[in-house]
Amino acid sequence: MEDLPDGFGAADLVTALRAFGVEAEQVTYAPVGFGDYHWSVLDADGRRWFATASDPAGKERGLAGLRQAMETAAVLREREGLEFVVAPVRSRAGDPVVETARYAVTLFPWQPGEPGRFGDEQTPGERDQVLTLLADLHARTPPETTPAVALDIPQRDRLEDLLAHPAGEGPFSAEAAALLKEYGGAVRERLAEFDRLAGQVRGNPPVVTHGEPHPGNLIRRDGRLLLVDWDTVGLAVPERDLAVVSADPADLDAYTRATGRRVDPAAVALYRLRWALADVAEFAVLLCGPHRRTPDTETARRGLAWTVQSLATGPWSPRT
């Protein structure tokens, strides 16, 4: 997030880090991503860390789900030996999440390397490297803590209410309401399409998936890839991850070669559509509710406009 968290400052972070055995000498806010708050940390021994504060109230799975996700990532690294998993550090009590009055804090070792950015174009070779990494992840025994991923679209009920009665009183509410009115028909069509695709995919066997293996969650170091941001980890069909890599199943051949498993085009289309509809719901609920003009609501404003316009371009049918 570009905005600083309400009611949580550097002093609060320094206090929380002591639960991990880290005495912070310097904390620097890192305005990256959307949803959580991040800092780079330098401790008294000269070591660097990356700290995250999450508001469980804004998480689809809440605090319990965040704990499950972080424990899953830790076990994948510790038990399964997956070196590409950038897992959280455990606190002195053995917990990868430390709870404060409002926020949940997680801590990660600093990872030197070349970070990617969301939306970066990948070469076929880079894409195949990601697919090989995902094939390894999907083949592992899911830790007992791995949460199941609900296929439903988060906040769908609220989105459908806003499509019927767009309103709001914030600085971007009128613009958001106008977009929902103009593109509401297309969004409803895509919701119906999502339901049709979901009916084809339900029942497919799940694996442990990362959820968002896009370039912004990848760090390249010494010719290998590291995968960060595991709060979305969960049990789902493999296409939950593969759909992030490419919309075209023909681009996913490296995964089939590594696993012997044919990619389901309907599942790829389903998860790409779910991502877009979840973004529409998140942005619409934010902008039609109480909000201020900030860099993050500016991002939501642009994201809502771009996403509803893309949904209006036509059906998201699977490619064969």
The count of structural domains within the chain is 2
CA distance linking residue 146 with residue 133, whole number of Å: 19
Which CATH number belongs to the domain containing residue 85 in this structure? Answer: 3.30.200.20
Q: Are residues 139 and 278 in the same domain?
A: yes
Lowest mean pLDDT among 32-36, 100-104, 180-184: 32-36
| Per-residue pLDDT at 5 | 80
Give the residue-averaged pLDDT of 125-139: 96
Q: Are residues 278 and 171 in the same domain?
A: yes
Tell me if 4 is assigned to some domain.
Answer: no
Tell me if 199 is assigned to some domain.
Answer: yes
Tell me if 3 is assigned to some domain.
Answer: no
Tell me if 101 is assigned to some domain.
Answer: yes
Q: Are residues 100 and 221 in the same domain?
A: no
Q: Are residues 136 and 257 in the same domain?
A: yes
- The kind and range of the H/E element at 41 are strand 37-43
Q: Are residues 80 and 206 in the same domain?
A: no
Is residue 119 within 8 Å of 215, Cβ to Cβ?
yes
Domain termination residue (choose one: 110, 143, 159): 110
Q: Are residues 207 and 267 in the same domain?
A: yes
| Per-residue pLDDT at 250 | 87
Give the residue-averaged pLDDT of 217-245: 95
Which CATH number belongs to the domain containing residue 233 in this structure? Answer: 3.90.1200.10
Of the chain, the percentage scoring pLDDT greater than 70 comes to 97
Lowest mean pLDDT among 93-97, 252-256, 263-267, 310-314: 310-314
Q: Are residues 29 and 62 in the same domain?
A: yes
Q: In the numeric block, which tokens belong to residue 75?
A: 């076990």
| Per-residue pLDDT at 167 | 87
Which residues have C-beta within 8 Å of that of residue 26, sequence separation ≥ 6?
41, 42
Q: Where in the sequence is the domain holding 149, given as residue range(s)?
A: 124-311
CA distance linking residue 149 with residue 275, whole number of Å: 13
- Please, which pLDDT band fits residue 191 given cuts at 50, 70 and 90? very high
Among the listed residues 258, 217, 212, the one whose alpha carbon sits nearest the alpha carbon of residue 234: 212
Which residues have C-beta within 8 Å of that of residue 177, sequence separation ≥ 6?
162, 166, 167, 168, 288
Among the listed residues 241, 248, 216, the one whose alpha carbon sits nearest the alpha carbon of residue 229: 216
Tell me if 2 is assigned to some domain.
Answer: no
Among the listed residues 39, 34, 32, 33, the one whose alpha carbon sits nearest the alpha carbon of residue 8: 39
Q: Are residues 132 and 260 in the same domain?
A: yes
Q: Are residues 210 and 239 in the same domain?
A: yes
Q: Are residues 64 and 167 in the same domain?
A: no
Give the residue-averaged pLDDT of 143-151: 94
Reported as a single tens digit per residue, the pLDDT across 247-288 is 888 899 999 999 999 999 999 999 999 999 999 999 999 999
Give the residue-averaged pLDDT of 205-223: 94
Q: Which residues of 55-91 are buried (b: 16+ CB within 10 A; e: fewer)?
A: bbeebebebebbbbbbbbbbbbbeebebebbbbbbbb
Domain termination residue (choose one: 52, 84, 110): 110
Tell me if 174 is assigned to some domain.
Answer: yes
CA distance linking residue 258 with residue 277, whole number of Å: 31
Q: Which residues of 126-162 are buried (b: 16+ CB within 10 A; e: fewer)?
A: bbbbbbebbbebbebebbeebbebebebbbeeebbeb
Tell me if 320 is assigned to some domain.
Answer: no
Residue 315: pLDDT above 80? no
Lowest mean pLDDT among 119-123, 182-186, 220-224, 276-280: 119-123
Q: For the chain, what is the mean pLDDT?
A: 92
Reported as a single tens digit per residue, the pLDDT across 39-78 is 999 999 999 999 999 988 877 778 999 999 999 999 999 9
In angstroms, the first-to-last Cα distance of the chain is: 38
SS3 assignment, position 221: strand
- Using N-to-C axis directions, what is the helix angle for 295-311 and 265-287, rounded to 10°? 140
Domain termination residue (choose one: 88, 110, 132): 110
| Per-residue pLDDT at 59 | 73
Q: Are residues 225 and 295 in the same domain?
A: yes
Tell me if 223 is assigned to some domain.
Answer: yes
| Per-residue pLDDT at 1 | 52
Q: Are residues 35 and 85 in the same domain?
A: yes
